[in-house]
Amino acid sequence: MRPVSSWGRLSRDPHRTLALHEPRAVARALREAQPGVAFGMGRSYGDACLNPGGFLWLTRGLDHLVAFDRQSGVLTCEPGMLLRDIQRLAIADGWLLPVTPGTQLITVGGAIANDVHGKNHHRVGSFGDHVRRLWLARTDGEIIECGPDLAADWFAATVGGIGLTGLIVRAELQLRRVPGPWLRTQTIPYGTLDEFFTLADASEESWEHTVSWIDCLARGGRGLFMRGNHADVEGARAPSGRARRIPLVPPVSLVNGLSLRPFNEMYFRLNSRQSGPRITHYEPFFYPLDNLHDWNRMYGPRGFYQYQSVVPRPVGRDAVAAMLAEIGRSGEGSFLAVLKTFGERHSVGMLGFPCPGVTLALDFPNKGASTLALLDRLDAIVGEAGGRLYLAKDTRMPRALFEAGYPRWQEFNAYRDPGISSGMSRRLLGA
Ligand SMILES: Cc1cc2nc3c(=O)[nH]c(=O)nc-3n(C[C@H](O)[C@H](O)[C@H](O)COP(=O)(O)OP(=O)(O)OC[C@H]3O[C@@H](n4cnc5c(N)ncnc54)[C@H](O)[C@@H]3O)c2cc1C
């Protein structure tokens, strides 16, 4: 038994960990180490990748590239391969993954099991839209091969299925052509939520990647809108890639009422001054925090909550405004606040998060009861708006909000593997 945390560092419960390295040994491991659940890079913030008191099947060792067709961009790999390694391999031949989240330090298995989204959801949907085949190992030894056109019900259960339908042991992905590693990008300051929506609407047609940072403590909803398109650029200098690390866990959160307001102010002013067009390498544009290792330590020993919702577009402006007003009143909140519009596409997954609407993601240092009370108030706004919370970020949502937000949860239950259980499955699905 050893203590394991996920990215939010809210708990350190003991787990029995089993490192998987050899695909042929997987069937026996799954049969003998139950109940368990897959653990990739643990970049989920809550309990989707945790199983307190039970087994974690560590998949990072299953990281072989099986095949890569440089003509068609079809790549087959084991589930522990990192998105970063796929990107760095494929870019040399003019390919990238069509969808990546705000970090590339995650595994292919984790990307599928949460059906992760990126800054281009309005154009290309989410990760599962680009998976051609999956091989799923069940704890009874069966291997299920599935895809959008083969055993499509198993595919829909497994994409976004938070690891509960079996262990993904192999995946075949379709990469997308890019002219090179560069993007033409723009940063545009905005002063109100209405300006944000105007910018988002105006950008979706002609910009592939859009996202915004929002100052969650400023009245009105000011922020910085970022957009980018892949570009054919020669002679630009690649970033050094030098990484830094938060060396230790400070005794208290560095993100607090004293630091946050001036920090947001400074960030907004600095970036507003430097706004305008640029040429940017894909790594700093898509994954701005990946070179600051262990940044989650800055929230101190009590960890932090991440709260990500999506609410339908027609009520999106008012719901986001109501959430920001609650946060402003509470004085809690964080620097890492992201607002983005999704396109008109639903996740292929029964429990997939992405759907048409507007999504707001925020970090909150864990201050105990006052933070939980604030999150309850945000739940009420999301529930009223007919929205849902992202399972990859969650550790506390009430079951009623889950069931309302994910109406296919009962259908999903039929595909669960009885040898798999997680903290999240026990909390939200009862087993
Ligand atoms: C800085 C940061 C930025 C992020 N930005 C985004 C973003 O923009 N968009 C977004 O969608 N998400 C984002 N995320 C969340 C992250 O992409 C997801 O939580 C992702 O699933 C983490 O992958 P992982 O390899 O760490 O998996 P883990 O967190 O270890 O596991 C996630 C889930 O996948 C399951 N799983 C893992 N491997 C397998 C397998 N082989 N077979 C079956 N199930 C498996 C686990 O059981 C668990 O349920 C971000 C996270 C961080 C830390």
The residue whose C-alpha atom lies closest to atom 40 belonging to ligand 1 is: 109
Tell me the CA–centroid distance for residue 359 and ligand 1, in Å. 17
Mean predicted confidence (pLDDT) in 328-335: 85
Residue 421: is it exposed, middle or buried by C-beta count within 10 angstroms (0-12/13-18/19+)? buried
Pocket test for ligand 1, best of 6, 9, 49, 334 (most atoms within 8 A of CB): 49
Residue 264 pLDDT grade (very low, low, confident, very high; cuts 50, 70, 90): confident
Looking from the CA of residue 296, the nearest atom of ligand 1 is 53
CA 254–ligand 1 middle distance (angstroms): 25
Atom of ligand 1 nearest to the CA of 127: 11
pLDDT at 243: 80
Q: In what order do the strands lie in the sheet with 167-174?
A: 65-69, 74-77, 167-174, 131-137, 143-146
94 phi-psi bin (left φ>0, alpha ψ -120 to 50, beta other): left
Q: Count H helices, E strands: the chain?
A: 13, 21
pLDDT grade for 273, boundaries at 50, 70 and 90: confident
Please say if the pLDDT value at position 357 is more than 90: yes
Q: What is residue 51's predicted lDDT score, i.e. its pLDDT? A: 98
Q: Using the atom order of ligand 1, give the atom closest to the CA of residue 79.
A: 41
Q: What is the pLDDT of residue 53?
A: 97
The pick from 30, 116, 308 for probing ligand 1's pocket by mutation, whose C-beta has the most ligand atoms within 8 angstroms, reads: 116
Closest Cα partner for 110 from 66, 57, 68?
Answer: 57
Query: Predicted confidence band at 351 (pLDDT cuts at 50, 70, 90)?
Result: very high
Query: Which atom of ligand 1 lies at the shortest distance from residue 107's CA?
Result: 25
Average pLDDT taken over every residue of the chain = 95
Of all protein residues, the one whose alpha carbon is nearest to atom 23 of ligand 1 is 110
CA 108 / ligand 1 centre spacing (Å): 9
The residue whose CA has the least distance to atom 9 of ligand 1 is: 101
Average of pLDDT values for 153-171? Answer: 98
The CA–CA distances, whole Å, from 286 to 269, 281, 429 equal 22, 9, 33
What residues contact residue 258 under an 8 Å CB cut-off, 6+ apart? none
221 Cα to the center of ligand 1, angstroms: 29
Mean pLDDT in residue range 33-43: 97
Q: Which of 30, 107, 286, 299 to mutate to test the pocket of ligand 1 (most atoms within 8 A of CB)?
A: 107
Q: Give the residue, by CA position, lying nearest to ligand 1 atom 49.
A: 162
Ligand 1 centroid, distance to 208 Cα (angstroms): 23
The pLDDT score that the predictor gives to residue 410 is: 98
Q: State the pTM of this model.
A: 0.97
Cα(349) to centroid(ligand 1), Å: 15
Q: HSE of 268 in the Cβ direction (CA atoms, 13 Å)?
A: 20
Residue 252 pLDDT grade (very low, low, confident, very high; cuts 50, 70, 90): confident
Q: Tell whether the model's pLDDT for residue 397 goes beyond 80.
A: yes
**Per-residue CA distances from 151 to 60, 89, 139, 146, 330 (Å):** 27, 30, 18, 5, 48
Q: Ligand 1 mean position to 333 CA, how many Å?
A: 23
- Measured between alpha carbons, how far is 13 from 32 in angstroms, rounded to an integer? 22
CA dist 431 → 319, 392, 424, 426 (Å) = 32, 18, 9, 4
- As a whole number, mean pLDDT of residues 70-99 equals 98
Atom of ligand 1 nearest to the CA of 45: 19
Distance 90 CA to ligand 1 centre (A): 21
Centroid of ligand 1 to alpha carbon of 258 (angstroms): 32
- Per DSSP, 237 falls in state P
- Dihedral class, residue 346 (left if φ above 0, else alpha if ψ from -120 to 50, else beta): beta
Cβ atoms of residues 364 and 371 within 8 Å: yes
Q: Name the residue at shortest CA distance from atom 36 of ligand 1.
A: 110
Average pLDDT of the residues in 257-272: 80
Can you tell me which atom of ligand 1 is nearest the CA of 40? 30
Binding-site residues, ligand 1, Cβ < 6 A: 7, 37-44, 48-49, 59, 79, 101-103, 106-107, 109-111, 113-114, 116-117, 162-163, 167-168, 289, 392
Q: How many alpha carbons lie under 13 Å from residue 46 in its C-beta half-sphere?
A: 24
The residue count of the chain comes to: 431
| Residue 271: burial class (beta carbons within 10 Å; 0-12, 13-18, 19+) | middle
